[in-house]
Amino acid sequence: MRKYIFITLLLASCEQPSTSITELYSLPKKLKEVSGIIYTPEDQSVWAIEDSGNTSALYKINSTGKITKTISITDAQNTDWEDVTMDKNGNLYLGDFGNNDNERKDLCIYKVDKNSLLNATAAPVSKISFSYPEQKQFPPNKKELLYDVEGFFEMNNNFYLFTKNRSKGFDGTSLIYKIPNQAGNHTAILLGSFKTCDTYKSCAITSAILSLDQSKVALLTHDKIILFENFKEDNFLSGTQTVLELNHFSQKEAATFIDNDKILLADEKYGSDGGKVYKTTLTQLKTKS
């Protein structure tokens, strides 16, 4: 009996923690590299985009994972679209700022007018270009590859970008930049920096989202959410920073708030894994932390 109890306890100690996310549905097969999603509460759908090497298009996906609408972006090339966000008026923004090698000088955000999303199958965009004043070399030294971005959101007529660190000797450093939401060519304003953790696969930021009441910022990695709360205005570093474990590792590249607690996540297809949409809540993640 004692031997049985010992073996049972040993097996229990080796078990992995249960996942903190729930699988909702698989993405359509044609969308293998989803890099950004944004939820639309009116019809409980999401708009999705893909990153470099894929079509310049927006895809509307319903709650069962089917594409219900495709809008071609007629005057913008998908150099490396890495995230999509929405303003309070319902306009969408496509972040063409993927910069793996830190050598791009054509970084921009494309605005898709809300009216184009209603009935059109093709849509023009307006362009918001920007640069990082701290970057002096293209590319910089391999220990200073701090200028890739895969996550941003719009708040109060400004964009907030959170950089993905690709430096040799990764230490989790991420920069926060601010850019005005208006057409033109802008110099990004550095608001500050912070650290996630020192393991690239688990700590590089792949999406950034803002809760509907603007009280929470959630940053996605492949297996974590880094949560900022209790900040003042747009000084996100003035509040608290909490790491919430998803207990599920995959190439998660996209996230969106449904409300002030519920979050949808999406990962890229990799072999027979991924290519799915999941749901979690901050309440659940905090409880398991």
pLDDT digits (tens, 9 = 90+) for 87-127: 999 999 999 999 999 999 999 999 999 999 988 799 999 99
pLDDT of residue 17: 57
Closest C-alpha to 66, from 91, 90, 84, 48: 48
Q: Return the amino acid letter for 43.
A: D
Two tokens, residue 51? 């990153």
pLDDT of residue 96: 98
Measured distance CA(140)–CA(122) in Å, rounded: 38
Interacting residues of 202 by C-beta distance below 8 A, sequence separation 6+? 221, 222, 223, 224, 249
pLDDT of residue 1: 45
Can you tell me whether residue 220 is helix, strand or coil? strand
Residue segments in the chain with a per-residue pLDDT below the cut of 50? 1-16
Strand-pair partners of 260: none
Closest C-alpha to 212, from 150, 154, 285: 154
Two tokens, residue 95? 């972040």
Q: Which of 267-274's residues contact partners 24+ apart within 8 Å by CB, and which partners?
A: 267/34, 268/32, 268/33, 268/34, 268/35, 269/27, 269/32, 269/33, 274/250
pTM of the full predicted structure?
0.93
pLDDT of residue 288: 81
Dihedrals phi, psi of 4, to nearest 5 degrees: -65, -45
Interacting residues of 93 by C-beta distance below 8 A, sequence separation 6+? 84, 85, 86, 87, 109, 110, 111, 112, 128, 154, 159, 181
pLDDT of residue 4: 41
Measured distance CA(241)–CA(217) in Å, rounded: 10
* CA quadruple 52, 57, 63, 65: dihedral, nearest 10: -60
Answer whether 158's CB lies under 8 Å from 180's CB: yes
pLDDT of residue 29: 92
